[in-house]
Chains A and B, each alone.
Chain A
Amino acid sequence: MSNLLKVSSSPHVRAKDDTSRIMLYVILALMPTTIFGVVNFGLRALLLVIVCVLTCVASEYLFEKAVGKKSTIKDFSAAVTGLLLGLNLPYTLPVWQAVLGSIFAIVVVKMLFGGLGQNFMNPALGGRAFLVISFAATMTHFEYDGVSGATPLQLLKNGDTVNTLDMLIGRTGGTIGETSALCILIGAIILILLGVIDLLIPGVYILSFVAFITLFGGHGFDTTYIVAHLCGGGLMLGAFFMATDYVTSPITPAGKVVFGICLGVLTGLFRIFGNSAEGVSFAIIFSNLLVPLIERVTIPRAFGIVREKKTKEVKANE
């Protein structure tokens, strides 16, 4: 009998996307950034990234083995976490610190809360936050061409001038993956074309951030200043690769807008009024924590359903 006449319950059409395929797309999209980082900073950067990926995958495997769960390393999500964490480290970081950060990202931030889909914040950024708090000295020590110096954002904060073309291409100091806005944008275009991410969260994030620094940056609408802020630090990497994490971003369209505005305003606050020059990772982590609340207030009304009154909701909850 032909398939046409077969009777079955829905769904009838299945997309070929599954977790591992999407994760592979993300890894593919991160390749330009990774390759540029290795070219820019040398083989030590490659070593760190590989160590992070391997540690993340191994700790996910060992944790699941220890608690008797089915291994999920084949969905590549641990590899993506490791890659993102590696790209978020300065290339001079001692290897044992990178290993600890990876273990923390997978075991504490991801697996203890129930694994992929249950983590309350982006594991890579959780690992990065752990490292920044624990090893402040090595995590904020940046070298470029063997010379240690301030990142463009720190220069910008001190009121010095920066070369925006270098920042766009990535010929500056910083973490392995954050320097080249160009490579990140290439990766972002790949992801958007493949339909893995949509532009809503990064778009709102970047626009609200631009609005914030125009209002409070003290330079008005100065294009050079704004471009420098956009290309500097982890903003591009965070906006396209970490704020769009399915698990830790809202799924409602209105929620995505709210989430993006939160990110933009917080990043601006941290960068301009905070002590440190960079604030993308903490802005994303903090907004991750707000996601359940944002989703709660932005659930769209289903067609034909009359909005219930609040007193009824309370009863239903009981």
Chain B
Amino acid sequence: MNKYIERLYNGLWKENPTFVLMLGMCPTLAVTTSAINGIGMGLSTTVVLVLSNMMISALRNIIPDRVRMPAFIVVVASFVTIVQFLMEGFTPSLYESLGIYIPLIVVNCIILGRAESYASKNPIIPSMFDGIGMGLGFTVGLTLIGMVREILGNGSLFGATITPLNNFHISLFGLAPGAFFVLGGLVAIMNVIRKKMEEKGKPLPAAQGCLAGDCSGCTLSSACKGKSASEAVESLGKGEDK
């Protein structure tokens, strides 16, 4: 598979930040009250992610290892500020409804995670595609959650009222508990599809982080203890079966 397409596939499906990596949960749960909010949040994060990935990748040989985190934060924060001003100017209603979660993109785990585990080790163009893939994966995740919550909680989709459904809306799904229920439900559906694919003989996506041959940014590194990716996945799979 083409290297760039592979990065897109990786972000959208294999290591989808919302449903597989479970990163950026704070905006995922908080802003997805409607589909349009999900798209807005996802796309603004994508823009920041692509730009910061490229910038960090370009600066990867200049940034000293010791201060890389503050340096990443400065880069990300600059882009977030630009995006914030642009949104305030051109999409004021979206800016209003996303509120504090736009500045909080700075500390979004996905952006720092990609900077740390991919962009700081790879050339500019793959980093850009990595950002696009991850960003679109995040956008798709947020939009799906937003759509389900908007239909169930408000009886509408993208702001348009769905006539029979709007009499049967369940307010809970517009509130915080609903976000957890919908996220859990979608992750369960995704896992079922993965399992089906695995049974059909398609290989199961390997555990995150191990493919890049780097364990520093991986939360599972203590569990797999430096074993190879396939071994680590196997041991994880066994653990789940129990």
Contact = CB atoms under 8 A, between A and B. Distances in A.
B85 interface: no
Interface in B129-180: 168, 170-173, 175, 177
Nearest to B175: A133
B107 to A, nearest CB: 30
Contacts of A96: 168
Interface of A: 96, 100, 108, 130, 133-136
Interface of B: 168, 170-173, 175, 177, 181
A108 B170 CA distance: 15
15 contacts: A96-B168, A100-B170, A108-B181, A130-B172, A133-B171, A133-B172, A133-B175, A133-B177, A134-B170, A134-B171, A134-B172, A134-B173, A135-B170, A135-B171, A136-B171
Identify which of B170, B171, B177, B181 gathers the most chain A CB atoms within 10 Å of its CB. Answer: B170
A136 B175 CA distance: 13
B149 to A, nearest CB: 13
Identify which of B168, B172, B175, B181 gathers the most chain A CB atoms within 10 Å of its CB. Answer: B172
A236 to B, nearest CB: 28
Enumerate the 6 nearest inter-chain pairs by beta-carbon distance, A residue then B residue, closest first.
Answer: A134-B172, A134-B170, A134-B171, A133-B172, A130-B172, A96-B168
Contacts of A108: 181
Given A133-B171, A135-B170, 7 more contacts: A100-B170, A133-B172, A133-B175, A134-B170, A134-B171, A134-B172, A136-B171
B157 to A, nearest CB: 19
Contacts of B170: 100, 134-135
Nearest to A104: B172
A96 B168 CA distance: 9
Nearest to B181: A108
